Amino acid sequence: MIVGIVGLGLIGGSFAKAYSAAGHKVYALDIDEATFKYALVSGCICGELCEEVMKEADLILICTYPDAAIEFMKKYGPVIGKKPLVMDCCGTKRVLFDEGISIASKYGFTYVGAHPMAGTQYSGFKYAKENLFKNAPMVIVPPRFDDIVFLNKIKTMLSPAGFSKISVTTADKHDEMIAFTSQLAHVVSSAYIKSPTASSHKGFSAGSYKDMTRVAWLNSEMWTELFFDNKDYLEKEIDILLKNLEEYRAALHNNDKEAMKRLLEEGKKRKEEVDG
């Protein structure tokens, strides 16, 4: 395959390394010239994803912030043509998917929304890994759900990345789930580390602290855009969390050990229910 990568950060860089290692020709675009040159020297890309290459590409993966993904499709939509499958890999879907479908319809290319469920707390090409997506889930939001041949084509094109499972959903359901599984976790981690006590944690912290604070080391610009693209669902999840936390606080305040035990048992039972 000829694969185009737009954005050589953690996700785009990892795709570039995975497809290159699998023997495919990879071309890329990145706003940072130094990053592009580094990827070129490292051998995971063949060259620039210019307009001529776009027309011949089998797959174009847009691994940028949502607004930048929309701008890319608007700018290059007239020249992409019908051959490539254009897939965004951004963290929210509703606004981006509607725009993508509209632009694709206008210019005649095929667009699919996607979200690889893999990553680290670090960002940038230097942290990209060839095996980042190995055995990770991939969520796709296709323009149509009743075309098995088309869905199989998507799965085949994604196979070099090594995903363990590909789930198909709607843009709305994706954003509802991501508000809980990803965005809320980043909000909680960021808020948790702001305790004045955190400055004295060394020597007193272990796995729980590391688990809670890992994703506080985030890209604030990207996550701000993602949060506001999904503010309704994220606000809902924050409200649920605040209500639950008030129950734990009330049990402590009222010296109600039975209530605390009940709350903890409910949490344990819920974990068993959802994760087996």
Same domain, 48 and 159: yes
CA distances (Å), origin 263, targets 114, 192, 236, 255: 37, 20, 21, 14
Beta sheet of 165-168, edge-to-edge order: 47-48, 25-29, 2-6, 59-62, 85-88, 110-116, 137-141, 165-168
Given 169, 201, 232, which residue is the final one in a domain?
169
Given 144, 169, 194, which residue is the final one in a domain?
169
Same domain, 42 and 73: yes
Residue in this structure with the two tokens 């808020």, named with its chain if needed:
191
Same domain, 62 and 157: yes
Q: In this structure, what CATH number is given to the domain that contains residue 23?
A: 3.40.50.720
Same domain, 162 and 254: no
pTM for this model (two decimals): 0.91
Same domain, 165 and 183: no
Give me the residues paired with residue 115 across strands.
Answer: 139
Given 169, 187, 202, which residue is the final one in a domain?
169
Residues 6+ apart with CB under 8 A from 42: none
Amino acid type, 192 = Y
The domain of 247 spans 174-275
Give the residue among 59, 136, 67, 60 at the shortest CA–CA distance from 96: 67
Same domain, 127 and 207: no
pLDDT in single tens digits along all 276 residues of the chain: 999 999 999 999 999 999 999 999 999 999 999 999 999 999 999 999 999 999 999 999 999 999 999 999 999 999 999 999 999 999 999 999 999 999 999 999 999 999 999 987 788 999 999 999 999 999 999 999 999 999 999 999 999 999 999 999 999 999 999 999 999 999 999 999 999 999 999 988 899 999 999 999 999 999 999 999 999 999 999 999 999 999 999 999 999 999 999 999 999 999 999 998
Same domain, 7 and 68: yes
Q: In this structure, what CATH number is given to the domain that contains residue 257?
A: 1.10.3660.10
At residue 231, the 3 state secondary structure works out as helix
Domain count across the chain: 2
Same domain, 52 and 146: yes
